[in-house]
Chains A and B, each alone.
Chain A
Amino acid sequence: MELFEVDQDSFEDLPEFNDYLSGQESPIDDDLHIVSGLSQYSEAEFLDVLLARGFEAEDYGDVTRLEKEYTYGGDDYTAGFYLHYHGSENGEGGVVLLYTNQRKTKEIKHTVKNIFESEHGLYYLHVGPRLFQIVREEVLQNEEYAEIVEFVADRSKDSDRPSRIRPEFKRTIRYFGDDGWEALREMEENYGVRPRYLKFNIPNDASFKIARDGVFSLVDGRLSTLFNYVQVCIQEGMAIKQAFDSSDFEMVNNTENLSIPTAEPAVIELNSELQYDQLGNIKSRMDDEDYFIVDSFGQEGSVHFSSKVYDKQKENTFRLKATDDTIRVFPQEEEGDLGSFLRFHEFVQNHIDPGAEAIPP
């Protein structure tokens, strides 16, 4: 499946591009996917990362057309995207939006999704349980006749999420039905699952999906409606990025001969109290999720836990300090890794506390 073509040479800004895609002359016949991510790099640096990974870029004003040929499983593919990069207000990094009509399980997964997961300084915009709840509430508030008509929700083995029915089981539920609002709530309460994706239908307006891995898909209707909720998610993502931006690492010279590594943390506030007896389970899940605990110390009383951790996926080391209501993440290099922090933030929401929230300064 080839990337859709545009017959305009340049787009002045994202609204113009969105309008073009929504207009009468829209080149899109299938689902439109917007793959979103957060970057600690500038646009130029982000493009350099893509070019180093074999992409070719073509300038379309405020949008860049990207293409990459690759082979997978003996088959040749050409992945293509239209990139819009939105810089942060503080000038550090920004939001990446990649538009495509290609396949989530092939071109998207094998290229940009892989880059977000493995590259230093990048991560997809994770839509966790808390953000899904925010989006649901926004949709309910703004769209009188909106329905959730399809969803996939899952539960991992040994999950701590409350579940009335057989909590010891790992499960995935795929649901189709116009009573999705109620069904999702019932599944969450009874089976302790959390959304992997939700499909909303707003009659005579739009039908779209929002997925946990930051992929927004327009199935039918108005792109502008979907984009409202893309922006809700971006806002939350930027708040997490701000928490990361407030962290730092610096070697300080207390005396001429005594140099001490110091670090300011990014703070994740927990919604439910962390108990000492959870720590064993948490360490084991960290191991499952490709973290290696180099060294750690834990103390009962109220929780006092500190650790040096190696993120195997992002190849990044950081320190943690946890109390019963916060987890502090300390970078260990002058240039921290936003991608590693976002991945750990996702881990906290998925495996420790779904209501956990990174707090900007």
Chain B
Amino acid sequence: MPGDEEESGENAREIYDNVLRDEPEWRERKQELEDELLGEVDGSENIIKKKVEEAIRTGNKHDEMLTAVASAFNTRSRLTDESGWYVMGVEPLYEVDPAMRNPDAILGHSERNMVITVECKTGISEPQNALEQIRGAAENILGYSDYLEEQTGNEFDRVERVLMVPGNLVELARRAIDQEEREREPEDPIYLWTYHTFNEERLRLHRSFNERSETRSAHNCSLSQHLTEDGVEVINDPLASGDFYPESNPLKVLRNLFFDIPHSRQDSDGSIRKFTRGEVINIIDDPRTMTHYANGEIAERICDDLLSRMSNYNLISEDNPEEHGYSEDVELYSYRPVIDGMKADTIQSNLVSKYKENWISQKAEKEAVKQVVAQFMEGQSGLSDF
């Protein structure tokens, strides 16, 4: 989980700082490792850039899957019209605690005391962990049922859990579920949906398992009849999509926000090279931008995270608001000179490019620190053998 990664990073940093105090020559070793990781040494490859780009791709692919669910289950879709199931929430409970295990979507029905949690997975490198995550998320949903009833208007006391994977991962997912069935005999099954984009865009319920019957693999509701056989062709439903979700990758959030913000200033009196924190929050809070039932609460958090990173990367700086005609309580920012441009598209392109550069650079530095610590510790354990 992101929290664990941050914690181990902080520990490594602490050890590294201690090491440097006594053996400053490790600083050079860190630089060597960093250069290697960034492909700046002969024969090396920029593996950090590859990792960052892969993370961006994975994030975007995940959002595509979530959008498919939102498109299949909104009040204009055929599936909602015929089955009565609709999306009640996307990334629910994010506003309570972003680190809490939560599903990607919850579906509700006006005549059922049940919700369906949907977890979209673009990859399953640790299948049993993935299933555990789904069960944990469903427990949290049940634990917050009163709160969610207030937010969504839907009362429920039961949950059905869905794992949704791209079509090419169906075998891996099936084996994981079969293993869980075999080893733990869970009372509540995890259902498997597959998302197909080869020559189509389709959602299907998978019912063929070794360790459980087709009946047990089908939902206890009319949804099964719509999702079995050919399933649902999502591409024929209205596209239901804002610009991003609360857990979208930060570059996607940046791309969209920091096109809209300078663009909206193009025709106004304000400088296109400045913006306020309030503007950022207002745009995130707009349901056309971000799909969530608690937009307002999440907007501030996402805004502050993003602005803090942008400041940290030296892409923006804070200005004195009163010098620019704003009241003193306004948080005003400018783009630093390294972010060139007087048009929305130029500013956005430059921001995205520099943000990514800094992200890669920072990640390489952190990885180099970890590797230095690992090498140092190895050296220490070698000595202790004596």
Q: Indicate whether A265 reaches chain B with its CB closer than 8 angstroms.
A: yes
Contact A262 B239 (CB under 8 A): yes
Contact B241 A319 (CB under 8 A): yes
Q: Indicate whether A308 reaches chain B with its CB closer than 8 angstroms.
A: yes
With a cutoff of 8 Å between Cβ atoms, the chain B residues found around residue A297 in the complex are: 60-61, 63-64
Which of chain A's residues has its CB closest to B64's CB? A297
Q: How far is the CB of B251 from chain A (nearest CB, A)?
A: 9
Which of chain B's residues has its CB closest to A295's CB? B255
Contact A262 B76 (CB under 8 A): yes
Q: Which of B74, B199, B200, B239 has the most CB of A within 10 A?
A: B239
The total of chain A residues at the interface (CB under 8 A) is: 35
For B276-288 the 0/1 string (1 means CB < 8 A from A) is 0000000000011
Which of chain B's residues has its CB closest to A301's CB? B198
The segment from A106-114, A148-156, A252-260 found at the interface with B is: A252-260
With a cutoff of 8 Å between Cβ atoms, the chain B residues found around residue A262 in the complex are: 71, 74, 76, 238-240
How far apart sit A256 and B295, CA to CA, in the bound complex (Å)?
13
Give A309-357 interface residues, CB cut-off 8 Å to B.
310, 312, 319, 321, 323-324, 328, 330, 332
Our pick among A253, A257, A304, A308 for the contact of B256 (Cβ within 8 Å) is: A308
Contact B348 A294 (CB under 8 A): yes
With a cutoff of 8 Å between Cβ atoms, the chain A residues found around residue B239 in the complex are: 262-263, 265, 319, 321, 328, 330
Which of chain B's residues has its CB closest to A292's CB? B345
Q: How far is the CB of A305 from chain B (nearest CB, A)?
A: 10
With a cutoff of 8 Å between Cβ atoms, the chain B residues found around residue A312 in the complex are: 345
Our pick among B71, B238, B256 for the contact of A294 (Cβ within 8 Å) is: B256
Contact A252 B243 (CB under 8 A): no
Contact B75 A302 (CB under 8 A): no
Contact A261 B242 (CB under 8 A): yes
How far apart sit A265 and B255, CA to CA, in the bound complex (Å)?
23
How far apart sit A328 and B234, CA to CA, in the bound complex (Å)?
13
Contact A255 B255 (CB under 8 A): no
How far apart sit A128 and B96, CA to CA, in the bound complex (Å)?
55
How far apart sit A301 and B64, CA to CA, in the bound complex (Å)?
15
Q: Chain A: residues with CB nearer than 8 A to chain B?
A: 250-265, 292, 294-295, 297, 299, 301-302, 304, 306, 308, 310, 312, 319, 321, 323-324, 328, 330, 332
Give 12 A-B contacts (CB < 8 Å), ordered by A residue.
A252-B74, A254-B88, A255-B88, A255-B89, A258-B287, A258-B291, A260-B287, A261-B240, A261-B242, A295-B256, A297-B61, A312-B345
